[in-house]
Chain A
Amino acid sequence: MAEPPLIEAHDLTKRYDDFVAVDGIDFAVARGETFGFLGPNGAGKSSTMRMIGAVSPTSGGTLRVLGRDPERDGPAIRERLGVVPQEDNLDLELDVGENLLVYGRFFGLPRDEIRRRSDELLEFVQLADRSDARVDSLSGGMKRRLTIARALINEPELMLLDEPTTGLDPQARHALWDRLYRLKQRGVTLVLTTHYMDEAEQLCDRLVIMDRAKIVAEGSPRELIERFVEREVVELRTGTDGDAPSLDGIGGHVEVLQDRIVIGTDDGDGLVDRVHALGLHPETVLVRRATLEDVFLRLTGRSLID
């Protein structure tokens, strides 16, 4: 018999007064999987994460986390979760090691055990030499890594990461991805939200695309790209000439955005030749592989990051 999913949601809904933040979504996450919620700000990703994390009551539908009801068994569920929130909430009045100590105590761990785990975790997130440093003095990327170490202090079965790399510079993002990838290799189930399609592509085995409180598509990054868009994309920056209509039928789907035209195709170079053959001379021409960004654009008519 297959193991039941670690998270299972049916018709899951979250309302704040009149505002519907999550509108009847269904999903399931299996043990060992890295599962993503991809979507723009305000799509309902964080609200979903908070319900999974048993800190936000559901307004409708059913939700099971680790086989339990978050409404009834909040502490028992949270005991087995590691949570990396969107905004850092480390205790700035404590040093790095103390942040881990205090957090471990919240889980009822003995001090010796916390110290042992702290050493390992700080090693893991490459902060071993910073154990006595004030949290204030850490860079954004270091704080994020410390938050991850803190979330791992109880050896969670399930990690919830809400926009883990938002606000980090590219180097810090890659360092963080590398750590998350290692966790994944160790078999920790990761659930993350992001509005970066490259992050979702790099990390997620499977993801759902959310828009306006609903799930609009589900699958692996590759599946989603194959299902919804052509293999390649040609982006034309046209300046002001408004030639868009004449491009219909030149390749695959044509999306006219404010500053550029995006055309899906299975043969990018061939399409560029045809554009030139039409006598068009765009300011810039870019041929690239299709990404989840294009999937999102196709499904919603909008780009992920405004």
Chain B
Amino acid sequence: MEAARRTLAVVGWQARSFRRLWRGSITVSLLNPIFFLVSIGVLLGSLIDRSSPDLGGLSYLQFVAPALLATTAMQTAASVTTFPVRAGLKWLRTYHAAVATPIRVSELVAGILTWCGVRVMVAVTIFAVIAAIGGAFVSPLAVLAPFAALLCGLAFGSVLAAITSSVEGDEWLAAIFRFGLVPLFLFSGTFFPIQQLPAVLEALAWATPLWHGVALCRSLATDDLDPLLTAVHVTYLVVLTAVGTMLTVRAQREKLRR
């Protein structure tokens, strides 16, 4: 099919652009999990009372590792769909070059988000392997956790691409990280159960994609799977991905096909 062929051409382009950066990126993907799991999971975790009912009998490392898998997905997705997308649309205008060829805007966006998925999958797989070696996962279902994290990454990637493609000023990009991703990282049940939050914030956490990603990864890695909740998490992330993708296509059409 032509559309699929052209989408793949975009993925191939992104992969080729990445060839100059992959060494640095792989290093980050290897070191990040080690740093986080050791400093927070093991060292900070040693100060945390394992008998706390909120931990449900898990060590703190076992509690926090699946969540860090989801945040890794979020961060990797953000690195693919914020600044590089901005560069393609505005700074280098390479997206303008792409849509002057048979490539359609929808195919361009599909290619970019597919590439985002590839990058996320690589990062979370590396993370999961390291975490598994470190004994951070208790359930064999943890094998599925990288796929849950991928879903979380795609939800973020599509939404962030939509925002990056819509806003005008460049200062917005830094704001996305400061006022968007950092608070999510800290308050989405990553480091503590969201039940500890005041009721209002707990409700807010339910609305954030990261919490659904965290909860999904954690339920898989700790063998605490509730069918209904799982369906809610998956549906939420899939719908968000679809909406984000549609909005990205719409915003980029506005910019590329004026």
Contacts and interface: CB of A to CB of B under 8 A. Distances in A.
**Bound together:** yes
Interface of A: 16, 50, 53, 55-57, 74-76, 78-79, 81, 83, 85, 87, 89-94, 98, 101-103, 105-108, 150, 154
Nearest to A147: B97
Contact of A78 (B9, B16, B102, B258): B102
Contact of B9 (A75, A76, A106): A106
A87 B100 contact: no
Contact of A94 (B16, B101, B103, B258): B16
B89 to A, nearest CB: 11
- The secondary structure that dominates the B interface is helix
Given A56-B258, A89-B93, A89-B96, A106 B102 contact: yes
Contact of A89 (B5, B92, B104): B92
B13 A105 contact: yes
B256 interface: yes
A94 B100 CA distance: 19
Contacts of B196: none
Contacts of A101: 16
A79 B100 contact: no
Contacts of A56: 257-258
B103 A106 contact: yes
Nearest to B256: A55
A101 to B, nearest CB: 8
B101 A78 contact: yes
A157 to B, nearest CB: 14
21 contacts: A50-B258, A53-B100, A55-B257, A57-B257, A75-B2, A78-B102, A81-B100, A89-B93, A89-B94, A89-B96, A89-B97, A91-B17, A91-B97, A92-B92, A93-B20, A94-B17, A101-B16, A102-B9, A105-B12, A106-B98, A108-B6
